[in-house]
Amino acid sequence: MTIEIKELTKCYHEKVVVDQLSFSIKQGEFFALLGQNAAGKTSTIKMLCGLLLPTDGDALLDGKSIVYHQVAAKKIMNISPQESAVAPNLTVIENLLFLGRIYGCSKTQARERANANMELFALSQRQNDKAKTLSGGFKRRLSIAMAMMSNPKILFLDEPTLGLDVRPRRDLWKILSGLKGKVTIVLTTHYLEEVEVLADRVGIMHHGRLCALGTIQQLMHETKQSSLEEIFLAYTEEGLC
């Protein structure tokens, strides 16, 4: 298992927002974490990324505890957050090289990784353009490519297509499909079609608890529903979870 979550809990001023979450994500899996607004998804991702300390419980990233081995755990993962980390006045390649150097690459290694990621994210043609001149879709691609500069085994994507039009969203899906199996991906999104296209397995959170876990097929079978939207509505109905 790449990620083993064990009774992970987060409280803000006595309010429990992530409630004893326990499940595992396999190596190379594309996992979608779903839930209504305020279900606790971002708090969960932030704990797994070391941006937030759990109130209780733990998670192991490739065997490294996010509580006791934070530095080692952080080395094997990266996050493309909701708020883009792109520096607007740097060009595409400068943004990538800058991150590469921050992650400790030599100049040659940073350039190699930047070239590989520009290829992967179809950014090569725009490499000398300042980030502020890019469209929303390209900015989002650059933001994910920047997270890939640390060569993570685990990549967290927090609502990567939020606010994008249909075409740039689908373009990004194609690119993310190309990452499948190469890196373990944990995605949060409100776009259920995105999940149907990309995810191997789905977890649904409700009021901080995990109320469903499985492939879409398995959840369809369990709920006797015929679409992910219906499954989602069934599991997040008040009083059921």
Ligand X SMILES: Nc1ncnc2c1ncn2[C@@H]1O[C@H](COP(=O)(O)OP(=O)(O)OP(=O)(O)O)[C@@H](O)[C@H]1O
Q: How far apart are CB 119 and ligand X at their closest, in Å?
A: 32
Q: Which is nearer to ligand X, 42 or 184 (CB)?
A: 42
Distance in angstroms (rounded) separating the CA atoms of residues 94 and 98: 6
- Residue 149 contacts by C-beta under 8 Å, 6 or more apart in sequence? 96, 99, 100, 103, 105, 110, 113, 114, 117
Q: Which residues bind ligand X (CB under 6 A)?
A: 12, 17, 35, 37-43
Q: For residue 141, give the amino acid letter.
A: R
Q: How far apart are CB 3 and ligand X at their closest, in Å?
A: 17
Q: How far apart are CB 70 and ligand X at their closest, in Å?
A: 19
Q: Which is nearer to ligand X, 34 or 99 (CB)?
A: 34
Q: How far apart are CB 36 and ligand X at their closest, in Å?
A: 7
Q: What ranges in the chain are assigned the alpha helix state H?
A: 41-48, 70-75, 92-102, 107-120, 136-148, 166-179, 192-198, 216-223, 228-235
Q: Which is nearer to ligand X, 40 or 100 (CB)?
A: 40
Q: How far apart are CB 43 and ligand X at their closest, in Å?
A: 3
Q: Which is nearer to ligand X, 150 or 189 (CB)?
A: 189
Q: For residue 32, give the amino acid letter.
A: A
Q: Which is nearer to ligand X, 83 or 226 (CB)?
A: 83
